Structure 1
Amino acid sequence: MKKCISGLCLTLLVAGSVFASEKVPVTVDVLAKATSSWEGSALPEYPKGKPEVTILKIKIEPGVKLPLHEHPVINAGYLVSGELTVVTQDNKTLEMKAGDTLVEVVNKWHYGVNNGDMPAEIVVFYAGIKDKPLTVKHK
């Protein structure tokens, strides 16, 4: 039994050193980590309910201004290409360029506008609740 355990340990040791010598080219960059939105408001508590994660890729053509809206759920975005300006109802402004991230305002009226000359493409991650809307348009 001792020989069996010793053999197993030796095998694991050799296998471990083989895997340890392999170089796995992995890097991790934290793109965003926050407890408040881009304009400084604290993020709300997560609501009760069945969690639902939604990931959208949104393309906004040059010159397009989105309607005034709000998000009742926490969300964050990564601007893949183009440029985008986000403006709150009280005129706080965020200018974004490709590669920028934002932790979006929650329950605050705002809009986005593409003032650039190419489409703005943004990937947005929503941490929502099943059957709760991601976006509500202003009336």
Structure 2
Amino acid sequence: MMAGGRRRSVLGAGIGLWVMLGAGLALAEETPAVQVTERLSTRVTATGKPLVLPAHDARLIVTDYVIAPGATLSVHKHPFSRYAVVMSGTLRVMVAEGGPSFDYKAGDIIVEMVDEWHYGTNTGTDPVRLIVFDQVEGDRGPTVAAPH
């Protein structure tokens, strides 16, 4: 009698395992291999002005920025649209001479203003890490420093 009970237990466990594996495979088949999630779609900068793209001889520049806690970038502007992904830290971008300010944190996407003087400050206790994408014309640089 014991042998038959064990046989049923082993058979039951085997069927249970087969059902669980089958369910796991079914779930794996339902999960897409590639997921695409739109993070941002815009035609305007942070200040609401239209994006500006190079008309000729477009060049892409991708740059890593690391801004120390408490550090402030000097006042500058960009001749073309600039985009950044905040990888870590907290950054405040301020339009110079009393304009609005914008706060960004890890995971945010920045669409910087074009042809407007501005600067940024790391307002947190950790370094700000950015991946920055610039589109410029020819050999032009992505940033214009404010005159002193």
TM-score interval, normalised by the smaller of the two chains: 0.7 to 0.9
Note if contact 1:60-1:120 (Cα within 8 Å) is conserved in structure 2. yes
Identity of aligned residues (%): 31
Instruction: State TM-score, norm by structure 2.
Output: 0.74
Encode CA deviations 1:2-30: one digit per residue, 9 max, x unaligned.
xxxxxxxxxxxxxxxxxxx8975211122
In 2, Cα distance between the equivalents of 1:23 and 1:82? 32
Residue of 82, 87, 109 corresponding to 2:89: 82
Q: Is residue 2:40 matched to residue 1:54?
A: no
Residue of 77, 87, 92 corresponding to 1:70: 77
Equivalent residue, structure 2, for 1:127: 135
Q: Is residue 2:118 matched to residue 1:110?
A: yes
Note if contact 1:32-1:103 (Cα within 8 Å) is conserved in structure 2. no
| Paired letter, 2:118 | H
Equivalent residue, structure 1, for 2:20: none
Structure of larger gyration radius: 2
In 1, Cα distance between the equivalents of 2:44 and 2:115? 13
Instruction: State TM-score, norm by structure 1.
Output: 0.78
Equivalent residue, structure 1, for 2:99: 91
Equivalent residue, structure 1, for 2:17: none
| Paired letter, 1:28 | V
The 5-angstrom pairing of residues 39-50 of structure 1 reads 39-44=47-52, 46-50=53-57
In 1, Cα distance between the equivalents of 2:137 and 2:30? 42
Give ranges in structure 2 of 5+ residues lacking alignment: 1-28
| Paired letter, 1:72 | P
| Paired letter, 1:128 | V
CA 1:110–1:26 in structure 2 vs 1: closer, same or farther (change >3 Å)? same
Which one has the bigger helix percentage? Answer: 2
CA 1:128–1:24 in structure 2 vs 1: closer, same or farther (change >3 Å)? same
Cα RMSD after superposing both structures: 1.6
Give the length in aligned residue pairs.
Answer: 118
Give ranges in structure 1 of 5+ residues lacking alignment: 1-20
In 1, Cα distance between the equivalents of 2:48 and 2:109? 15
